[in-house]
Each structure stands twice: as structure tokens, then as C-alpha cells.
């Protein structure tokens, strides 16, 4: 008979029941159906809420499984518990092209990974990368092999590790069609629809077997907290998850999500990353490729978002009026004036590259890739000797800041950027060098 060992523990200031057993998918499926069942990456086990009659309750719910109170016995002569034979596999993707190891790690190992050479956290992919050298390889084995982990090394000879690793393990399609239809009727963007569906699908898979419509608020709060603490969701991603849940309950179950009283994470107020006009000029000077120079010129000369540059069509440019029509977030269209320099650059580029539909075509594809543009910006900034991080959005921030320094009204800048709220645009008033230069340093009034 299959056996589960149970013991009461305090987990995150809450009394829980720890479930210990040898890996068995049938047992896992049954545990997932238990009310309040959770997986803990810190304890490396499943656990459920404490109740006084938990032994008899589990015995009733988990038929044909022996429930034993206390820790599993040690294997004779090994000093290991039965549950220790189940080790968690961690895939280490060796990207040959970039010379890096990419891996997802338990949150408890974060500080140890930080010490490795070239350690870098990729928040979008939810994974770490370190230099692929013998020293890091030895350190990785020391960090993980001594515990309940098995390192599995996989070679990736492609250019991007994203082609090999999926962000999540795929789950069955669980979200109702009604949810997608309602979002389409409300004119949500395809990207938002796919993101919300993915988030809700994970949510439904987590609570599979439970009555979703009447799921208690504290269960949902616990789920969001677990995504933040275990999966390291960012503030923006946490807010996106709350939005998706709100829409799901409103559209599918006709339930007011405000009843759940979920606190939204406060956004960190960060100053935009801006580089000087001199640095912009240096980047343009080192860029010899005509297509690359045209892309950089439009990024800075029009203040476009990366996706807006990728989606530019030939028909979006009016060469008679010297203006560019851009469709931004929420399908909102705006008009941006093109200066004489930019018009001449675009015309030279068109004569040389002969684009058909989109202004920038990729190799073997209709549109240029965002990753390619990011690499162009990064490489040219490095060639120009700029040490601070530069991204396509840095050009957009610099566009707005330099216009403000030239005396352009904030309301006009808001229209050019496509901001819905003036509050978003006002952040550029904090980085204008023109205003900062007029401030006299108090130390100048003293003798040193």
C-alpha cells in the first residue's frame, strides 16, 4: 500500500500539515484536489491547512493510501529518509552562442548564485544566467548536488536560450471560451488576451477539482502571495495577475472581484534612463549599416516604443506632409512630425533595401524582430563607449527629455509619446538637465 507521512509544521506563520511521500503522480493528483493544498519550494513538499482531525480526514479523502503520523524512517545503513530518494531536477541550459549557463533556481539559493562570476537575473524569463566556465560549473555542483537536487546539463547551440526553455510547464487548456469572447467584445488587444488566458489557465490548474466560482478570498490571496514569494513575480506582473483574475470572475462568474479585497502592489517610482545628445550622436556615428542607422534614428527621432517600430508599415509614412502615423497601445493612433534629416535617411534606406509592406523586414520574415533591434542598440552603445545600460526605450526617454529641455510644452510631448495620462509624461520634468544646471550647489557657498 502507498504511504504518506504527515507532521504538523509552522509555515509562513501559519500552522500547516506537511505531507511526505515518494514521488507518485497518482498521489500528487489526489493531493491537488485537497482543499488548500500547496506546494512549498522551501520545504520541498506538499502541505495542507491544519485541522484537529486531519489524520481521519486525510484517511477518508485519500482512499487506499496509508496515512502515518511522523517523519519517514531512515533507510538501513544510509542515514537517508525514504523521501530523500526523490530528487528535484534542475535544468542547466548551456548556451554555446552566448557562453552562458541559464537555470531556474529555488528562491533560497538566490544569494549563493549571486556570488558566481557573471551572475545575472532575467526578470522576464524568471531565470538566472552565469558565465559558462569551469569555476562556475564546480560551484553549481557544490551548491546543488549535496542536497535534494540533480543538475541536468543541456546544450543549446541556438542564438537565444528562450527557444529552448519554456517559461512554464505546459498545462491543459482549462479557461472557458466565454472569457476570451468577452475580452474580444471589449476590444482587448490580442497580447492582453493571451497573457490573461495564460494567467487564468495556471490559476485554474492550481485549483483543479475545486469550485472556482465560490473559491474563498483567502485562498486567492494565498495563491497570489505564493506567486510573489515562490515564482518571484514582479510588481507589474502581480498587478497583471490581479487584473486577469478580476476580469475572469466578472466575465465568467458574474462575481465582483472587489469583494476579495486584494491589495495592489505599489509601483516603484524610477527615473527614466536617459542619455545625452552627445551620446546619441556617438551611437549614430559608429553605426555604418544603413538599416541599423535608420532604426536608431526613428527610435530617437520619433520616440517610438519597440513594438511600434517593428509594426511600422510603408503606408504609415506621409512623405508629402513629412509625418508618421503610429498605432500605439489600445489601438490609439497619433501623428509624429518627421524632421528633414529623418525623411532623407528613410528615403535613402528605402531606395537601398526596397521594403515592401513593413518598413523593416527581417531575414526570411515579413517583420524585423524585437530581439535584433535590442542587440543593435546594445552593441552600438558599447561601441560608442557608453558604459550605462542602453535599450530601445532609452531612446524614447531621451527623445522626451530633450524636447522638454528645448522648451516644448509637456502636453505636446504627451501627445507625441501616446501617453493616456499627463502624470506619466510629468516624470520627464525630473530628469531635465536644463533645470538641474540652474541649481547652485550649496557647497559652492563654502570654502573647501
Average pLDDT over residues 113-128: 81
What CATH code is carried by the domain that includes residue 336?
1.10.443.10
* Residue 222 sits in the same domain as residue 281: no
Domain for residue 239, yes or no?
Answer: yes
Q: How far apart are CA 183 and CA 171, in angstroms?
A: 22
Write out the residue range of the structural domain in which residue 237 sits.
Answer: 177-260
Domain for residue 266, yes or no?
Answer: no
Task: Report the number of distinct structural domains present in the chain.
Answer: 4
Please indicate whether residue 313 is annotated as part of the active site.
no
pLDDT tens digit string along 383-402?
999 988 899 999 999 998 88
Which residue out of 51, 221, 329, 367 is catalytically annotated?
329
Least confident segment among 115-124, 239-248, 267-276, 284-293 = 267-276
Average pLDDT over residues 320-336: 86
* Residue 281 sits in the same domain as residue 425: yes
What CATH code is carried by the domain that includes residue 6?
3.30.780
Give the residue from 139, 163, 187 where a domain finishes: 163
* Residue 154 sits in the same domain as residue 240: no
Which residue out of 197, 247, 396, 397 is catalytically annotated?
396
Identify the H or E element spanning 437.
helix 433-437
Rg of the chain over all Cα atoms, to the nearest angstrom: 27
88-95/45-49 β-pairing: unpaired
Q: How far apart are CA 397 and CA 277, in angstroms?
A: 12
pLDDT tens digit string along 278-322?
999 999 999 999 999 999 999 999 999 998 999 999 999 998 888
Q: How far apart are CA 12 and CA 141, in angstroms?
A: 29
Give the residue from 83, 100, 134 where a domain finishes: 83
Domain for residue 172, yes or no?
Answer: no
* Residue 371 sits in the same domain as residue 327: yes
* Residue 244 sits in the same domain as residue 343: no
Q: How far apart are CA 13 and CA 164, in angstroms?
A: 38
Please indicate whether residue 206 is annotated as part of the active site.
no
* Residue 367 sits in the same domain as residue 242: no
Q: How far apart are CA 62 and CA 60, in angstroms?
A: 6
Domain for residue 18, yes or no?
Answer: yes
Please indicate whether residue 396 is annotated as part of the active site.
yes
Q: What angle, rounded to 10 degrees, do the helices at 370-383 and 277-286 form?
A: 100
Distances in Å between the Cα of 14 and the Cα atoms of 8, 35, 48, 140, 386 are 10, 15, 11, 33, 50
pLDDT tens digit string along 63-98?
888 888 887 765 444 443 444 444 577 888 888 777
Which residue out of 221, 378, 393, 433 is catalytically annotated?
393
Q: How far apart are CA 6 and CA 266, in angstroms?
A: 39
pLDDT tens digit string along 189-222?
777 888 888 888 888 888 888 888 888 877 888 8
* Strand ranges across the sheet with 88-95: 120-122, 127-131, 100-103, 88-95, 149-156
Q: Give 260's contacts (C-beta < 8 A, 6+ positions apart).
A: 217, 220, 221
* pTM (global) more than 0.85: no
Q: How far apart are CA 432 and CA 430, in angstroms?
A: 6
Most confident of 21-30, 380-389, 430-439: 380-389
- Calculate the dihedral angle through the C-alpha atoms of 378, 419, 256, 224, rounding to the nearest 10 degrees: 20
pLDDT tens digit string along 30-71?
898 898 898 876 677 889 999 888 888 888 888 888 888 887
Q: What is the pLDDT of residue 283?
A: 95
Q: What is the pLDDT of residue 78?
A: 40
- Cell digits of residue 246: 478580476
Please indicate whether residue 94 is annotated as part of the active site.
no
Domain for residue 169, yes or no?
Answer: no
**Contact present, 125 and 116 (Cβ < 8 Å):** no
**Contact present, 8 and 26 (Cβ < 8 Å):** no
Q: Is the pLDDT of residue 257 over 50?
A: yes
Average of per-residue pLDDT values in the chain: 80
What CATH code is carried by the domain that includes residue 189?
1.10.150.130
* Residue 33 sits in the same domain as residue 109: no
Which residue out of 246, 305, 313, 378 is catalytically annotated?
305
* Residue 301 sits in the same domain as residue 419: yes
Please indicate whether residue 329 is annotated as part of the active site.
yes
Domain for residue 444, yes or no?
Answer: no
Please indicate whether residue 433 is annotated as part of the active site.
no
Give the closest residue to 291 by CA, choosing from 345, 247, 238: 345
**Contact present, 153 and 226 (Cβ < 8 Å):** no
Give the residue from 35, 59, 83 where a domain finishes: 83
* Residue 283 sits in the same domain as residue 252: no
Domain for residue 341, yes or no?
Answer: yes
* Residue 203 sits in the same domain as residue 249: yes
Counting every residue written for the chain, the total comes to 448
Contacts for 251-260 with beta carbons within 8 Å, 24 or more apart?
Answer: 251/178, 251/179, 251/182, 251/183, 252/176, 252/178, 252/179, 252/182, 253/212, 253/213, 255/213, 259/217, 260/217, 260/220, 260/221
Q: How far apart are CA 265 and CA 229, in angstroms?
A: 13
Least confident segment among 6-15, 169-178, 347-356, 400-409 = 169-178
Average pLDDT over residues 373-383: 92
* Residue 208 sits in the same domain as residue 79: no
* Residue 286 sits in the same domain as residue 319: yes
Domain for residue 170, yes or no?
Answer: no
Average pLDDT over residues 224-252: 78
Which residue out of 223, 349, 368, 428 is catalytically annotated?
428
Amino acid at each position: 500500500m502507498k504511504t504518506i507521512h504527515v507532521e504538523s509544521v509552522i509555515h509562513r506563520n501559519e500552522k500547516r500539515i506537511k505531507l511526505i511521500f515518494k514521488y507518485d503522480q497518482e498521489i500528487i493528483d489526489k493531493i491537488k484536489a485537497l482543499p488548500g493544498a500547496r506546494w512549498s519550494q522551501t520545504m520541498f513538499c506538499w502541505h495542507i491547512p491544519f485541522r484537529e482531525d486531519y489524520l481521519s480526514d486525510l484517511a477518508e479523502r485519500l482512499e487506499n493510501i496509508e496515512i502515518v503520523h511522523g517523519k519517514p524512517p531512515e533507510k538501513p545503513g544510509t542515514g537517508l529518509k525514504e523521501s530523500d530518494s526523490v530528487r528535484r531536477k534542475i535544468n542547466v541550459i548551456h548556451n554555446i552562442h552566448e557562453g552562458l549557463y541559464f537555470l531556474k533556481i529555488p528562491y533560497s539559493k538566490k544569494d549563493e548564485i549571486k556570488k558566481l562570476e557573471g551572475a545575472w537575473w532575467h526578470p522576464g524569463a524568471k531565470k538566472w544566467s552565469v558565465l559558462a566556465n569551469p569555476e562556475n560549473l564546480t560551484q553549481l555542483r557544490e551548491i546543488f548536488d549535496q542536497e535534494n537536487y540533480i543538475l541536468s546539463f543541456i546544450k543549446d547551440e541556438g542564438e537565444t536560450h528562450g527557444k529552448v526553455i519554456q517559461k512554464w510547464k505546459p498545462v491543459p487548456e482549462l479557461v472557458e471560451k466565454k472569457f476570451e469572447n468577452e475580452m474580444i467584445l471589449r476590444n482587448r488587444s490580442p497580447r492582453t488576451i493571451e497573457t490573461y488566458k495564460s494567467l487564468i489557465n495556471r490559476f485554474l490548474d492550481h485549483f483543479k477539482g475545486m469550485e472556482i466560482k465560490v473559491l474563498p478570498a483567502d485562498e486567492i490571496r494565498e495563491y497570489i502571495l505564493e506567486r510573489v514569494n515562490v515564482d518571484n513575480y514582479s510588481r507589474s506582473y502581480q498587478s497583471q495577475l490581479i487584473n486577469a483574475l478580476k476580469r475572469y470572475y466578472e466575465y465568467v462568474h458574474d462575481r465582483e472581484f472587489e469583494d476579495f479585497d486584494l491589495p495592489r502592489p505599489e509601483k516603484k517610482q524610477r527615473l527614466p534612463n536617459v542619455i545625452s545628445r552627445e551620446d546619441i550622436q556617438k551611437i549614430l556615428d559608429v553605426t555604418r549599416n544603413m538599416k541599423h542607422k535608420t532604426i536608431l534614428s526613428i527610435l530617437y527621432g520619433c520616440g517610438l516604443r519597440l513594438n511600434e517600430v517593428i509594426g511600422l508599415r510603408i503606408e504609415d509614412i506621409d512623405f508629402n506632409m513629412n509625418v508618421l502615423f503610429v498605432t500605439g497601445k489600445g489601438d490609439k493612433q497619433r501623428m509624429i512630425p518627421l524632421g528633414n534629416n529623418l525623411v532623407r535617411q528613410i528615403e535613402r534606406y528605402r531606395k537601398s533595401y526596397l521594403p515592401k509592406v513593413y518598413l523593416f523586414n527581417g531575414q526570411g520574415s515579413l517583420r524585423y524582430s524585437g530581439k535584433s533591434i535590442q542587440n543593435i542598440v546594445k552593441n552600438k552603445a558599447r561601441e560608442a563607449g557608453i558604459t550605462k545600460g542602453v535599450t530601445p526605450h532609452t531612446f524614447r526617454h531621451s527623445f522626451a527629455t530633450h524636447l522638454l529641455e528645448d522648451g516644448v510644452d509637456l502636453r505636446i510631448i504627451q501627445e507625441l509619446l501616446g501617453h493616456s495620462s499627463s502624470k506619466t509624461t510629468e516624470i520627464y520634468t525630473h530628469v531635465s538637465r536644463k533645470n538641474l544646471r540652474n541649481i547652485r550647489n550649496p557647497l559652492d557657498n563654502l570654502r573647501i
